[in-house]
């Protein structure tokens, strides 16, 4: 094993042996090499005379740029075309941390690291997998699940995907979650995705408290837990009874051998899906000196990023940073949020209408982009194909019984006609 990796492992073990035990074989081997990016970063800070370290073309003291590109990027500095540091633009990371604290008051009393930039939340999930998932490790998920989890953790990393029925009587099924934790091995990776994709459910305060207590109890029984919070749809909560903050504040620094990771991004929070800017943030167990532990974990993440995408798009990061610095951003966001909330409220009216009770049973929905329904007596894939062929309507088949509808991309007046097409499609198949 590389000496740098050994050093990082020793640093992690000195502050939290449990976190070292959570690392995969690949995670233990990862390190941030003292190669071109490392030396280039040092040169940027100190080479005031000549800097001949990085493979970038410079002209007139700035990044060389073609006029055709400059015209398209009017108002964006040429600096945005240069390589970004593997962890992301420092200003952006600091701005995102400030946003986390602003949006989640419960985080202000917690210990957590500076967010690191990933090339989307999906990339963040992959990085987490590289650091912590060995073939055969158990990854626990709320069913129904987003199919990207299976691709990353099962197909690519060889983990065992375990699911539990996520909902009962219109709420999160805490008892099923507790049972699933009890049945698991000594090391477990738990992914909590709230607001939930595909159902669009955000738990209430008492449900999240019960989730927290179940995790603490599991750790007290001798298990080591990595808790991954996929917060892709953070903030898009439309029901006052649902918890308004990220679960990160409640689940950070839990007692026992629990390491918590928050994955979020500008994708949905700023409505910039194609920019692919995500963030990865660690919250350590309650240790005496969290900073060295967090620094060592960051070095591991940098190694994983360097070995895959090298660094995320500087241009995308620059655009996100400029948006975060805009004084009108909050008002603009609230206006778009109001549009989505109106759609969500209309969806709930329609999907829960008595006229559809003999066709489907809706999953609870109070947040996010989606609503899902469990079909009572037709196959979901057969219905999906029939809706496309007969009615020109696209939905997602989740499994044999459930379909997902993204109300985020429907105009308000299109919601009821779409569900009427779904009803007619079911009637056709019957």
For 118-173, how does the pLDDT look when each residue is reduced to its tens digit (9 = 90+)? 999 999 999 999 999 999 999 999 999 999 999 999 999 999 999 999 999 999 99
CATH 3.40.640.10 domain span(s) along the chain: 3-32+86-324
Indicate the length of the chain as a whole number: 430
Could you tell me the pLDDT band of residue 43, with boundaries at 50, 70 and 90?
A: confident
On whether the CB atoms of residues 359 and 365 are closer than 8 A, the answer is: no
Residue 51 is predicted with a pLDDT of 86
**CATH for 329-429, among 3.40.640.10, 3.40.50.920, 3.90.1150.10, 3.90.850.10?**
3.90.1150.10
- Return the H-helix or E-strand segment holding 351: helix 329-351
**Local confidence band at 296 (pLDDT 50, 70, 90 cut-offs):** very high
CA-CA distance, 310 to 307, in Å (whole number)? 6
Query: pLDDT of 379-389, one tens digit each?
Result: 999 999 999 99
Tell me the whole-structure pTM to 2 decimals: 0.95
pLDDT, tens digit (0-9, with 9 covering 90-100), for 342-359 = 999 999 999 999 999 999
Return the closest-CA partner of residue 261 out of 133, 69, 394, 424: 133
Q: Which fold has domain 3-32+86-324?
A: 3.40.640
Residue 349: which residues within 8 A CB-CB, separation 6 or more? none
* 53-81 per-position pLDDT tens digit: 888 998 988 899 999 999 999 889 889 99
Model pLDDT for residues 9-33, shown as the tens digit of each residue:
999 999 999 999 999 999 999 999 8
41 confidence band (pLDDT: 50, 70, 90): confident
**Residue range(s) occupied by CATH 3.90.1150.10 in the chain:** 329-429
Lookup: tokens for 410: 């429907």
User: Would you give the end-to-end CA distance of the chain in angstroms?
Assistant: 61
Determine how many CB atoms are found less than 10 A away from the CB of residue 248.
25
Q: Does 35 score more than 80 pLDDT?
A: no
Mean pLDDT across 370-398:
98
Whole-angstrom Cα distance, residue 51 to residue 44?
A: 7
Question: pLDDT digit string (tens) for 129-141?
Answer: 999 999 999 999 9
What is the chain's percent helix, strand, coil content, to nearest 5?
A: 50, 15, 35
Q: What is the mean pLDDT of residues 40-61?
A: 86
Q: Which residue has the tokens 């000594």?
A: 186
Phi and psi of 277, rounded to 5°? -115, 110
């Amino acid at each position: 094993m590389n000496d740098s990796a050994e050093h990082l492992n020793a640093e992690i073990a000195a502050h939290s042996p449990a976190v070292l035990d959570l690392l995969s074989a690949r995670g233990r081997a990862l390190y941030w090499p003292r190669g071109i990016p490392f030396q280039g970063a040092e040169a940027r800070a100190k080479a005031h005379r000549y800097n001949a370290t990085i493979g970038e073309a410079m002209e007139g003291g700035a990044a060389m740029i073609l006029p055709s590109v400059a015209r398209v990027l009017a108002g964006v500095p040429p600096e945005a075309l240069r390589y970004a540091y593997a962890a992301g633009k420092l200003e952006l990371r600091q701005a995102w941390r400030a946003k986390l604290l602003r949006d989640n008051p419960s985080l202000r009393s917690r210990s957590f690291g500076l967010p690191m930039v990933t090339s989307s939340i999906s990339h963040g999930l992959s990085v987490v997998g590289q650091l912590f998932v060995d073939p055969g490790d158990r990854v626990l998920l709320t069913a129904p699940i987003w199919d990207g989890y299976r691709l990353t953790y099962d197909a690519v990393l060889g983990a065992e995907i375990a699911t539990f029925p996520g909902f009962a009587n219109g709420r999160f099924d805490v008892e099923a979650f507790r049972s699933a934790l009890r049945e698991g091995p000594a090391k477990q990776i738990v992914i909590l995705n709230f607001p939930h994709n595909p159902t669009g459910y955000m738990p209430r305060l008492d449900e999240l408290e019960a989730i927290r207590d179940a995790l603490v109890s599991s750790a007290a029984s001798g298990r080591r837990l990595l808790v991954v919070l996929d917060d892709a749809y953070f903030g898009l909560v439309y029901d006052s009874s649902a918890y308004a903050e990220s679960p990160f504040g409640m689940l950070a620094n839990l007692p026992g051998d629990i390491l918590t990771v928050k994955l979020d991004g500008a994708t949905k929070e700023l409505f910039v899906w194609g920019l692919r800017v995500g963030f990865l943030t660690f919250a350590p167990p309650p240790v005496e000196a969290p900073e060295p532990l967090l620094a060592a974990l960051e070095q591991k993440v940098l190694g994983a990023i360097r070995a895959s995408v090298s660094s995320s798009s500087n241009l995308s990061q620059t655009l996100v940073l400029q948006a975060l610095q805009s004084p009108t951003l909050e008002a603009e966001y609230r206006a778009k949020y109001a549009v989505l909330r109106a759609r969500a409220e209309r969806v709930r009216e329609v999907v829960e209408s008595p006229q559809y009770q003999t066709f489907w049973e809706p999953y609870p929905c109070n947040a996010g982009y989606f609503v899902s329904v469990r079909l009572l007596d037709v196959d979901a894939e057969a219905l999906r194909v029939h809706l496309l062929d007969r009615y020109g309507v696209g939905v997602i088949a989740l499994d044999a019984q459930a379909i997902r509808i993204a109300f985020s991309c429907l105009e308000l007046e299109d919601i009821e006609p779409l569900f009427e097409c779904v009803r007619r499609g079911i009637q056709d198949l019957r």
